[in-house]
Structure 1
Amino acid sequence: MAPIKTIPTAFIVFLGLCSQALAAKDFDYYSLVVMWPPSYCYQTKAGCCLPTTGKPAKDFFITGLQTYDSTTGAAVTKCKKSNFYISELSDLTDELNAYWSTIKCPSSNAHRYWKNSWKTYGVCSGLSQHDYFKTALELRSKLNLLSIFTSNGIVPSGENFYKVEHIKKVIEENLGVTVGIQCSKNLWDEWQLYQLHICFNKDASKIISCPQLKSYTCGDEVTFGLFNYDMLSPAPETIRMYTGEGSAVIGHKFILGKDVESSFLKL
């Protein structure tokens, strides 16, 4: 029988390092995902609730700063294991509560969403936990999307519909790039603007057209709902009323137009 040869320890270590290098993930652009909060509220009868951290900003919320590979179009996730420490975000907490909040019922805070984003995408960014969230907040602020929309006649309202092509044109003219527009259906089977996917280069220094745009289904026109703090309640009562003036929102009661004298139907 031939003698059994022992594999040198150094060679085993070398193979291990090569294996890790081959398995290592990398990304080459970010996708900042922002959500229009009323669209979340209008999607289900569950409505939305005031966060335990207080009133969020009446603006687009961050829902993620995601890491992507432009060659494959796939998200680059969970590159390594890293704990999440809420204490590292102490100087960012107020801004995170305002712009990276949760309005899901029952009322809660967004800590678990921050943790999930860090452990899924942040660990692939090459940034510290603090800098990852600081970068997301800075990118959202620089975009100033709500101001761009309102200055171009896309105003939050319970009654107006806006052409998706017009929204795309406004974004392209003001940001100079193409972004992903994601829509959803509200309780009345109307298309509404839900989320925007806006891309940045690897060091987050420059906005870019998204290299790989997912195909999202939208109607030709969408609503851009009014954000009212009264709609954030522990147990919103979703009511459809008929008036003569078109749509509006009173508290957490949704009003859609026909005859103000008519009775209303509880969904």
Structure 2
Amino acid sequence: MAAPKTIPAALVVFLCFCSQAQAIKDFDYYSLVLMWPASYCFQSAAGCCLPTTGKPALDFFITGLQTRNSATGDVAAECKQSNFYVKELADLTDDLYAYWTNIRCPSTNPLSNWKNSWKTSGVCSGLSEHDYFKTALELREKLDLLSIFKKNGIVPSGENFYNVEYIKKVIKKSLGVSVAIECNRNMWDESQFYQIYFCFDKDASTIISCPNVKPSTCAEEVTFGLFTYDMLVNTAAKPNPIKMYTS
């Protein structure tokens, strides 16, 4: 009987790598990431700038609709190659300019944000490009987080600090789920409410408690700064409208 052939070590490593790569592409829930823009503006002396597409909403911005794996908590990303067609979003652009924009300096437009989200998580979602962005906008609107906060005494202010556990309890009471909160630090080295992760089942509509929540980056109490248009510096000489192109 011939001796069994052994698999070369390099091939074993390759097969393991392929298996892990495949696993990370499997997703079973969404994570909608909302950012409080004032905390972006206050994180450094660079401040923030008015987008070339006009004034955004004075509300939470979307920074991503991530496809995630509940077993690991990792983002399932780049499942396939797909072009980004901004013309597919023609009926959504007003809302995207308002709620999924870019306030970094110098002034720019949010096209790169949208393209990156589509090519990273959108392609894993099974949704069309249009439906992926429409879904993110609809979920943000249904949450209406600012209203929930205001009803419970959590109001943007340059003076007040809020207990992070109280914020989580407010959300739990209002929506029945647990969320993940991310903080950053402002120029005065204060912990500030920065991003919040809401999780949804694979149907992209049923809200669920977020699995595999990582340890908080927040202090016990955080600032929740006021966001106004006065904070947005206009560094563009003239508007820079998004061109309809494919990439």
Partner of 2:61: 61
Partner of 1:128: 128
Shift in Å, 1:76: 0.3
Q: Give the Cα–Cα distance (whole angstroms) in 1 for the partners of residues 215 and 129 of structure 2.
A: 31
Q: Give the Cα–Cα distance (whole angstroms) in 1 for the partners of residues 46 and 131 of structure 2.
A: 35
Q: CA RMSD in A?
A: 1.4
Q: Give the Cα–Cα distance (whole angstroms) in 2 for the partners of residues 182 and 217 of structure 1.
A: 6
Partner of 2:93: 93
Specify every segment of 5 or more residues in structure 2 that has no aligned partner in the other structure, as ranges: 1-17, 236-247
Partner of 1:6: none
Q: Give the Cα–Cα distance (whole angstroms) in 2 for the partners of residues 161 and 23 of structure 1.
A: 44
Paired residues of 2:139 and 2:205 also in contact (CA < 8 A): no
Partner of 2:231: 231
Paired residues of 2:35 and 2:194 also in contact (CA < 8 A): yes
What does the per-residue CA deviation read over 1:5-42, in whole Å, with 9 as the maximum and x for residues that have no partner? xxxxxxxxxxxxxx99x947321000000000000000
Alignment length, in residue pairs? 216
Does the alignment pair 1:192 with 2:229?
no
Q: Give the Cα–Cα distance (whole angstroms) in 2 for the partners of residues 178 and 165 of structure 1.
A: 11
Shift in Å, 1:234: 3.5
1:159 alignment partner, SS class: strand
Partner of 1:244: none
Partner of 1:8: none
2:167 alignment partner, SS class: helix
2:67 alignment partner, SS class: strand
Q: Which structure has the higher relative contact order (CA within 8 Å, separation 6+)?
A: 2
Aligned-residue identity in percent: 69
Q: Give the Cα–Cα distance (whole angstroms) in 2 for the partners of residues 146 and 166 of structure 1.
A: 15
Shift in Å, 1:203: 1.1
Q: Quick one: which amino acid aligns to residue 27 of structure 1?
A: F
Partner of 1:217: 217
What does the per-residue CA deviation read over 1:201-252, in whole Å, with 9 as the maximum and x for residues that have no partner? 00112000011112222111111100110110146xxxxxxxxxxxxxxxxx
Matches within 5 A, 1:103-114: 103-114=103-114
Partner of 1:183: 183
Shift in Å, 1:147: 0.4
TM-score, length-normalised on structure 1? 0.79
Partner of 1:243: none
1:73 alignment partner, SS class: coil
Shift in Å, 1:71: 1.1
2:233 alignment partner, SS class: coil
